[in-house]
């Protein structure tokens, strides 16, 4: 796969429809051994061989970290996305041999916290499935607030309510139920850590309110799986490997580099972890930075790019790859 | 501000107003001046939600300057030990949104931070400013006794009497620097004692 990530040869052991949009996938190791240990909040990158095209998408592990006989992920179908979720929903069946990365955790619990306050939106519930299992196993103090569009799209809401009772609070958009965020944040005991996973708008809202209400940044953790944005095709010169490549409309720069046989490092493929940071040698055009990793200054300088999510429009782009 | 030496040696900053609903200041000695200096940068109404705990010197210096800030509360305990139970109580009942500011001697900052860590506040989110003496709180690694206000190098353990090298190795858990016997091989060897932490 890539520097910093090691592959696991797995077989799809089960595929379970959860609701109209979400399907759960179970993986076991092909050699029958236990899978590597992980901690709540970890993700794996799933390699999808779709004809001549390879997709690499990150998904949160949602099973209990206390059970490593199998890994489970849940994928929300995105009919207008780039096709990864549709491939998983349509083409992945039990018995299929696949390759996934070792787990990586960019959204881990801070176990020094006195209490863990979790906020999930939609499919953003998946990392919390593992985190709550981990905390419940050790008697940890947590509270989960979960917003979903309708009760029928409240993925695993019933499971969570059954497991954890009143520690789980549900909010349904169609019933006009909203989190009273300021009140929730202001009533938490000192030593609470906040975790949020969901759509970008929700994450920004929660981070912004938490900061205004005096939550130190160290106590606010968030995870957003940003899919690379499509855009006009562009050409890139890779100086180190001496290749010129074209980045397609639906392809990310990272994917185009990989397709050319160059193996750059990556971890999150969502513009947050910093692994794939790449130096720009020269450019003539406009950068479309979609990442959360580089500073404003880095973005303005035009000297760095995160190829997993960012694009370019212009005549010339030469990268140190 | 003390120079950074080894990684555990605390480094201090300059107090600056943080966003939040409640602000708790704990200060001694010239730490009061760190608070009054910061007040110039604070938004209007900042001290309406602030509690200042100040351990004054016998002359009561700086008390009036702190009163002039008109904090919601000003508490003047005679010593850190006498303040500790109340501080623990305050932190136990506090909610997220409380911001902690520590200013003054290293011993005060370290011990107040120790109470804050127990309450679940991350040390990186505490505003600190060192003012006044460099005197250290030292733990003897041999007898585990704590000696307050150590200003010399080496220093005598006030519990077991060993002559200790005062290291920059700091324990946040104990809020103390570590003192290690300086003449363990030959007790007759007595290096000169110098004023190192005035």
Counting beta carbons within 10 angstroms of the beta carbon of residue A25, is it exposed (0 to 12), middle (13 to 18) or buried (19 or more)?
buried
Question: Which among B18, B92, B120 has the least Cβ separation from residue A214?
Answer: B18
Sequence-distant (6+) residues with CB within 8 A of A306 are A271, A274, A276, A277, A278, A289, A290, A291, A293, A294
Question: CB distance from B100 to chain A under 8 Å?
Answer: no
* Residue in A closest to B90 by C-alpha: A190
A87 in helix, strand or coil? helix
Counting beta carbons within 10 angstroms of the beta carbon of residue A37, is it exposed (0 to 12), middle (13 to 18) or buried (19 or more)?
exposed
- Condensed to tens digits (0 to 9), the pLDDT of residues A189-222 reads 999 999 999 998 999 999 999 999 999 999 999 9
User: What does the radius of gyration of chain B's CA atoms come to, in whole angstroms?
Assistant: 18
Q: How far is A250 from chain B (nearest CA, A)?
A: 42
A30: nearest Cα among A52, A7, A48, A51 = A7
Contact residues, chain B, for A212 at CB < 8 Å: 19
Question: Where does the pLDDT of residue A111 fall: very low under 50, low under 70, confident under 90, or very high at 90 and above?
Answer: very high
| Alpha carbons A32 and A85: distance in angstroms, whole number | 27
- Condensed to tens digits (0 to 9), the pLDDT of residues A57-87 reads 999 999 999 999 999 999 999 998 888 999 9
Q: Read off the pTM.
A: 0.88
Per-residue 3-state assignment (H helix, E strand, C coil) for A198-255: CCHHHHHHHHHHHHHCCCCHHHEEEECCCCCCCCCCEEEEECCCCEEEEECCCCCHHH
Q: Which helix (H) or strand (E) holds B48?
A: none
DSSP assignment letter at B61? T
Question: CB distance from A185 to chain B under 8 Å?
Answer: yes
Asked if A213 lies within 8 A of B96 by C-beta distance, the reply is yes
Choose, out of B19, B23, B24, B96, the residue to mutate when testing the contact with A (most A CBs < 10 Å): B96
B113: nearest Cα among B12, B2, B42 = B12
* Residue in A closest to B89 by C-alpha: A190
Sequence-distant (6+) residues with CB within 8 A of A309 are A226, A228, A229, A252, A269, A270, A271, A290, A291
Average pLDDT over residues A123-133: 97
For residue B45, pLDDT over 50 is answered with yes
Query: Residue A189 corresponds to which tokens in the numbers above?
Result: 């005991």
Average pLDDT over residues B73-86: 96
- Condensed to tens digits (0 to 9), the pLDDT of residues B138-193 reads 999 999 999 999 999 999 999 999 999 999 999 999 999 999 999 999 999 999 99
pLDDT at B1: 45
Q: Sort residue A165 into left (φ over 0), alpha (ψ -120 to 50) or beta.
A: left
Question: CB distance from B192 to chain A under 8 Å?
Answer: no
For residue A152, pLDDT over 50 is answered with yes
Asked if A214 lies within 8 A of B124 by C-beta distance, the reply is no
For residue A230, pLDDT over 80 is answered with yes
Asked if B122 lies within 8 A of A188 by C-beta distance, the reply is no
Asked if B98 lies within 8 A of A188 by C-beta distance, the reply is no
Question: Which among B19, B98, B99 has the least Cβ separation from residue A212?
Answer: B19
Q: Are A132 and A62 in contact (CB under 8 A)?
A: no
A304 in helix, strand or coil? strand
Asked if A186 lies within 8 A of B96 by C-beta distance, the reply is yes
* Residue in A closest to B96 by C-alpha: A190
For residue A146, pLDDT over 60 is answered with yes
ipTM: 0.84
Question: CB distance from B99 to chain A under 8 Å?
Answer: yes
For residue A3, pLDDT over 60 is answered with no
* Residue in B closest to A115 by C-alpha: B120
Q: How far is A320 from chain B (nearest CA, A)?
A: 35
DSSP letters, A29-72, are ETTSPPPPP--TTEEEEEEEEETTEEEEEEEE--S-TT--S-EE
Contact residues, chain A, for B95 at CB < 8 Å: 186-190
- Condensed to tens digits (0 to 9), the pLDDT of residues A240-297 reads 999 999 999 989 999 999 999 999 999 889 888 899 999 999 999 999 999 989 999 9
Q: How far is B99 from chain A (nearest CA, A)?
A: 7
Question: CB distance from B3 to chain A under 8 Å?
Answer: no
Question: CB distance from B97 to chain A under 8 Å?
Answer: yes
Contact residues, chain B, for A216 at CB < 8 Å: 18, 99, 122, 124-125
Sequence-distant (6+) residues with CB within 8 A of A12 are A25, A26, A27, A92, A93, A94, A95, A96, A97, A98
Question: Which among B98, B119, B122 has the least Cβ separation from residue A214?
Answer: B98
Contact residues, chain B, for A189 at CB < 8 Å: 94-96, 120
Q: How many percent of chain A have pLDDT more than 70?
A: 98
| Count of positions (residues) in chain B | 198
* Residue in A closest to B125 by C-alpha: A216
* Residue in B closest to A208 by C-alpha: B19
Q: How many percent of chain B have pLDDT more than 90?
A: 89
| Alpha carbons A138 and A144: distance in angstroms, whole number | 16
Question: Which among B95, B99, B125 has the least Cβ separation from residue A218?
Answer: B125
Question: CB distance from A200 to chain B under 8 Å?
Answer: no
Query: Residue A163 corresponds to which tokens in the numbers above?
Result: 């497991």
Average pLDDT over residues B67-80: 96
Query: Residue A276 corresponds to which tokens in the numbers above?
Result: 């794939």
Q: Sort residue A46 into left (φ over 0), alpha (ψ -120 to 50) or beta.
A: beta
Contact residues, chain A, for B99 at CB < 8 Å: 214, 216
For residue A31, pLDDT over 50 is answered with yes
Q: Are A118 and A195 in contact (CB under 8 A)?
A: yes
pLDDT at B4: 54
Question: Where does the pLDDT of residue A5 fall: very low under 50, low under 70, confident under 90, or very high at 90 and above?
Answer: low
């Amino acid at each position: 796969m890539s520097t910093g990530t090691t592959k696991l040869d797995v077989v799809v052991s089960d595929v379970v429809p959860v609701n109209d949009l979400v399907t759960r996938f179970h993986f076991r190791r092909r050699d029958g051994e236990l899978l590597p240990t992980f901690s709540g909040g970890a993700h794996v990158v799933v390699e999808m061989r779709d004809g001549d095209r390879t997709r690499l998408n990150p998904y949160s592990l949602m099973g209990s970290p206390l059970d490593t006989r199998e890994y489970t992920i849940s994928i929300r179908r995105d009919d207008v996305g780039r096709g990864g979720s549709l491939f998983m929903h349509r083409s992945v069946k039990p018995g299929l041999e696949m390759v996934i990365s070792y787990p990586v955790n960019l959204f881990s619990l801070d176990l020094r916290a006195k209490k863990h306050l979790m906020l999930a939106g939609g499919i953003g519930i998946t990392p919390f499935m593992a985190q709550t299992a981990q905390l419940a196993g050790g008697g940890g103090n947590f509270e989960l607030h979960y917003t979903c569009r309708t009760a029928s799209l409240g993925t695993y809401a019933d499971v969570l309510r059954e497991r954890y009772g009143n520690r789980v609070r549900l909010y349904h958009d169609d019933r006009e139920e909203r989190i009273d965020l300021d009140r929730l944040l202001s009533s938490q005991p000192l030593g609470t850590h906040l975790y949020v996973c969901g759509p970008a708008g929700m994450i920004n809202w929660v981070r912004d309110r938490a900061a205004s209400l005096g939550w130190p940044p160290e106590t606010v953790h968030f995870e957003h799986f940003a899919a690379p944005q499509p855009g006009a095709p562009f050409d890139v010169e890779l100086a180190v490997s001496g290749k010129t490549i074209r980045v397609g409309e639906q392809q990310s720069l990272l994917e185009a580099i990989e397709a050319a046989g160059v193996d750059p490092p990556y971890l999150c493929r969502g513009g947050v972890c910093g692994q794939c940071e790449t130096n720009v040698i020269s450019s003539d055009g406009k950068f479309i930075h979609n990442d959360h990793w580089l500073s404003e200054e880095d973005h303005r300088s035009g000297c760095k790019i995160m190829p997993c999510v960012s694009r370019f429009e212009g005549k010339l782009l030469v990268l140190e790859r | 501000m003390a120079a950074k030496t080894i990684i555990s040696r605390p480094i201090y900053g300059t107090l600056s107003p943080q966003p939040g609903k409640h602000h708790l200041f704990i200060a001694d000695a010239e730490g009061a001046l760190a608070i009054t200096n910061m007040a110039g940068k604070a938004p209007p109404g900042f001290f309406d939600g602030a509690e200042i705990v100040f351990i004054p010197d016998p002359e009561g210096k700086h008390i009036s300057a702190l009163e002039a800030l008109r904090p919601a509360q000003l508490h003047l305990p005679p010593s850190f030990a006498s303040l500790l139970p109340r501080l623990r109580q305050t932190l136990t009942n506090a909610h997220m949104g409380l911001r902690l500011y520590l200013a003054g001697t290293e011993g005060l900052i370290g011990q107040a931070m120790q109470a804050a860590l127990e309450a679940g506040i991350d040390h990186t989110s505490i505003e600190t400013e060192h003012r006044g003496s460099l005197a250290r709180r030292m733990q003897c690694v041999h007898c585990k006794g704590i000696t307050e206000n150590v200003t010399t190098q080496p220093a005598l353990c006030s519990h077991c009497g060993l002559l200790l090298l005062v290291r920059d190795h700091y324990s946040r858990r104990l809020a103390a620097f570590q003192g290690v016997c300086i003449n363990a091989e030959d007790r007759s060897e007595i290096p000169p004692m110098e004023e190192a932490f005035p």
